[in-house]
Amino acid sequence: MTTIPADPSLVLGTLVDVERIKHLQEIAEAQKPEIIANEKLQRLLLTRYRLEAMTTELREMKKNGRKTDIISRIETELRNLNHQVTSAALEVAIKTMECYERVEELEDEFGQRIIYSTAESPLEFSLSPVKTYPFSSDTMKFDVQYFRIEDNNEMASSNHANRVSSYLRTTIDNNTSNTDGIGLAATNMIQNQMTNHNIDGTIVISAFCNHRQADIISPLILDARKLLAAWNQTFPDDYLDPDPKSMFDAGLKEEEDERN
């Protein structure tokens, strides 16, 4: 899974190095082909699992004497879909290696990011509290899938657990990094239930939420001395003399420039 680019220097309330932001943007851009290819593969896999579940349900209906003339058509679509899945998986492998090589080049160009130095934050932290504010909208992705157990034996139990686990891994791949852990937990739970109980199937309900809350600093109170020191360290070519007269002259010059 592709991870979100991050930098240890990006901490709320500290000064931000513009070059580090540009570096993260370049990495995100380099990872984009892999992300797009992987999202396409996950959509195809999810569609395949749904069609397979639909085919299983129609076969059960046929056993019960109901007419199901569309099974062969769905199976034909499944075969075509499997070819698309194979092509998409190959595309993911190619894009992953291409993106990996590009990201490595960017990392080598930028250098190490573990040890760094920056100007002291000009914030007056004791007077600038961190608050939670709704910056976006709450969103939810919801899905329900039913998996029927065709036979009550050990082999069917293992196959059923693997089907549910594979479906979960496909569903959650783009929403969380703990795909293997969730899939393994589901497999163990299903096998335990089928060992101790007689069950007809499993309903999988998945819901992924994005919350709108964000941390902000409000009110933003700055320390004048720290702000001046941070400016001079960040912009050495535009140095501001802390002498009162020099600051007064700089203010007058700025006002004259704005008028002109």
Q: How confident is the model at residue 130 (pLDDT cuts 50, 70, 90)?
A: confident
Length of the chain: 260
Spatial CA neighbour of 56 closest among 173, 154, 153, 200: 200
Lookup: tokens for 176: 């969380």
The span from the CA of 145 to the CA of 53, in Å, is: 8
The predicted pLDDT at position 67 comes to: 59
The DSSP call for residue 69 is T
Q: Over the stretch 91-125, which tens digit does the pLDDT of each residue have? A: 999 999 999 899 888 888 877 666 667 778 888 88
- For the record, the structure tokens of 253 come out as 């010059």
- Angle of the 18-63 helix axis to the 154-172 helix axis, nearest 10: 140
pLDDT digit string, tens, across residues 176-190 = 555 667 778 888 888
What would the mean pLDDT of 20-29 be, rounded to a whole number? 87
Taking all residues of the chain, what is their mean pLDDT, rounded to a whole number? 80
CA distance 70 to 253: 81
Tell me the C-alpha distance between 96 and 31, whole Å.
Answer: 8
Query: Could you report the per-residue pLDDT of 193-245, keeping only the tens digit for each?
Result: 877 878 788 888 877 777 777 788 888 899 888 888 888 888 888 888 878 78
Following DSSP, what letter does each residue of 110-124 receive, concatenated? H---SS---PPP-B-
Q: What's residue 1's pLDDT?
A: 47
pTM across the whole model:
0.59
At residue 199, the 3 state secondary structure works out as coil
Mean pLDDT of the 126-145 span: 79
Q: Give the pLDDT score at 65.
A: 64
Q: Is the pLDDT of residue 172 over 90?
A: no
